[in-house]
Homo-oligomer: A and B are copies of this chain.
Amino acid sequence: MILLDGKKTSLKILEEVKKRVAELSRTPHLVVILVGDNVASRIYVNNKKKAAEKVGIKSTIIEFASDITETDLLNKISELNNDNDITGILVQLPLPEHINRSKIISAISPKKDVDGFNPENVGRLAVGMEPYFYPATPQGIIMLLDEYGIKIEGKNAVVIGRSNIVGKPMAQMLLKRNATVTICHSFTQDLDNKIKTADIVVSAVGKKIVRCKMGNKNSVLIDVGIFRDSNGKLTGDIDFDFVSPDCKYITPVPGGVGPMTIASLMYNASKIY
């Protein structure tokens, strides 16, 4: 069993991004919008800012109180869209209840939408065109697979979870790389059987859901889930101790997909359209 070291790989990618940024004719400028005072969101936003600084990307955090109106937020985005100095815009999720998330994400210019969640980028990915930006988490996972020389073409990939942030774009990206993709979710019957026979499993659920005896000893297991167990310890979707002896590659939690996501986001933020 080989650990897919997301920490190490992310540092390598950040190093590459740093070089790339240094060679650009102008400095990319990422604006991160934070609405309200969600503690976790604030940590994520600060981590993004720190990562950006490390690779030489200028970053600005714009904070709004949780009672900002949708119109005011839309106006701010429109202003940033039209500001040539700003090359990337990211709205940290979740947003307060009274703000329509789809509306906000749709308002970001597709060419500055570093999260890749804007319908135009989603649509481009869905029809097999090149989006301006791929969503960070699935892109980071593909980078990790590539780093370890893991073949995707022709493989049976099982994606567990169908969120717009991970599961769905992951399925699209694996399909683009010519995997045979099965999308599983809460209505899936006989999930264990699907996991057991897969070549590549990507689990993005947030529950300890992968705990079967693997039938395919060459399988690659990617754990996107990250949460605290009843003892307060960080853990993922995959029962690592039980499953890892019977697979070929597996990501640790933490230190797997998490650092790859941020490196992948910085890769996006270094692009200027």
Contacts and interface: CB of A to CB of B under 8 A. Distances in A.
Interface string A75-105: 0000000000000000000000000001000
User: Chain A: interface secondary structure?
Assistant: mixed
Contact of A180 (B123, B175, B184): B184
A159 to B, nearest CB: 10
B123 A164 contact: no
A185 B180 contact: yes
A185 B120 CA distance: 25
A187 interface: yes
A122 B124 CA distance: 8
A178 B172 CA distance: 17
B124 A119 contact: yes
A218 interface: no
A162 interface: yes
Interface stretch (A4-12, A16-24, A126-134, A251-259): A126-134
A183 B189 contact: no
A248 interface: no
Nearest to A182: B182
The copy count of this chain in the complex is: 2
A154 interface: yes
Interface centre among A183, A184, A185 (most CB of B within 10 A): A183
B189 A156 contact: yes
A187 B183 contact: no
A119 B129 CA distance: 10
B180 A187 contact: yes
A231 interface: no
Contact of A123 (B122, B128, B175): B122
A184 B157 CA distance: 11
B185 A182 contact: no
Contacts of A162: 175
Interface string A136-174: 000000000000000001101000001010001001100
A266 interface: no
A187 B154 contact: yes
A175 B175 CA distance: 15
Contact of A119 (B120, B189, B194): B120
A153 B180 CA distance: 21
A127 B162 CA distance: 9
Interface of A: 102, 119-120, 122-129, 153-154, 156, 162, 164, 168, 171-172, 175, 178-185, 187-189, 194
